[in-house]
Amino acid sequence: TDKFQKEFFLLRSTEWEKYLAETDAKQGDLSDAMYFDFISAAQYATITQELRRAQSVFEERTGAEGTVSVVKRDALLQDNDLLPPAFYERVGDKVYEALVANFSGPDFYSQPPLPCSSGELGCVVDGFKQLYKVVVEAGYALDYKAEDRGATSVGEYKEAEAKLGAWRERTRNTFKVPEIKGEGRKLRVTLQAPCTLWGRQWLGMQGYMHNDHDVMVSRQSVHG
């Protein structure tokens, strides 16, 4: 919307000179990791501000003619606290769709993983590893490390399941915990020098949503 673009511009203008003093980012070049880091952080800061004061009914201008239309928010998302998790889910869906559409086929060494809904642990682990391999090859980070941290205890699994269940109930999310056959396992994924390294720290210090694109999309490798 016009309001979002205005707020986005003002925030970029306020923070850019301070950021440039600490980096040699190339303004306007999204292929430059340092500029992407800044612009992504500024975008998520603005999105956080807008979600906090979001309206249930508002006017939106679209197209070159500035056609005005009235937009009503989903009845299940009237509480503004529900917007960030819904936003994370939808962004993850869109990024995954883009990975499949633009990074699949014979021209690419690695292929995005297909959604894994079987509950088979090997499928989940392999999907995560393949996803992060694609992410790194696309330039999102220099490298990654996926570690199998061993079996989870019954208590650890139940605790994680309860947290996810509470989040699902609070956000009215349809995501279900896959039924694990046998023992659950812990998987730790570490990114080396991701292109959101500065931004994630800055967003956290400001109390804004984190721009963890890899986390948003990784849920697709679990259940699609």
pLDDT-derived band at 88 (thresholds 50, 70, 90) equals confident
pLDDT band with cut points at 50, 70 and 90 for residue 198: very high
Q: Which of 118, 148, 72 is nearest to 222 (CA)?
A: 118
| 49: CB partners within 8 A, 6+ apart | 7, 208
Question: 24 in helix, strand or coil?
Answer: coil
> Amino acid identity of 124?
V
Identify which has the larger pLDDT, 156 or 52: 52
> Could you give the C-alpha distances from 92 to 17, 72, 180, 224, in angstroms and in order?
31, 23, 23, 10
Rounded average pLDDT over 153-164: 77
Which range scores top for mean pLDDT: 54-58, 189-193, 215-219?
189-193
pLDDT tens-digit map of 96-120: 888 888 888 887 788 888 777 665 6
Confidence band (pLDDT; 50, 70, 90) for 152? Answer: confident
Which is more confidently placed, 168 or 99?
A: 99
Question: With bands split at pLDDT 50, 70 and 90, how would you rate the model's confidence at 192?
Answer: very high
- Residue 61 confidence (pLDDT) above 60: yes
Q: How far is CA 112 from CA 137, 164, 218, 222, in A?
A: 11, 25, 11, 13
Whole-number Å distance between alpha carbons of 202 and 175: 30
Please tell me the predicted confidence (pLDDT) of residue 1: 63
**Distance separating alpha carbons of residues 42 and 52, to the nearest angstrom:** 16
Q: Which residues contact 204 (CB under 8 A, 6 or more apart)?
A: 210
pLDDT of residue 10: 92
pLDDT-derived band at 65 (thresholds 50, 70, 90) equals confident
Query: Which amino acid appears at position 46 of this protein?
Result: T
Structure letter (DSSP) for residue 122: H
Joined tokens for residue 79: 């509480």
**Mean local confidence (pLDDT), 181-200:** 83
The pLDDT value recorded for residue 64 is: 77
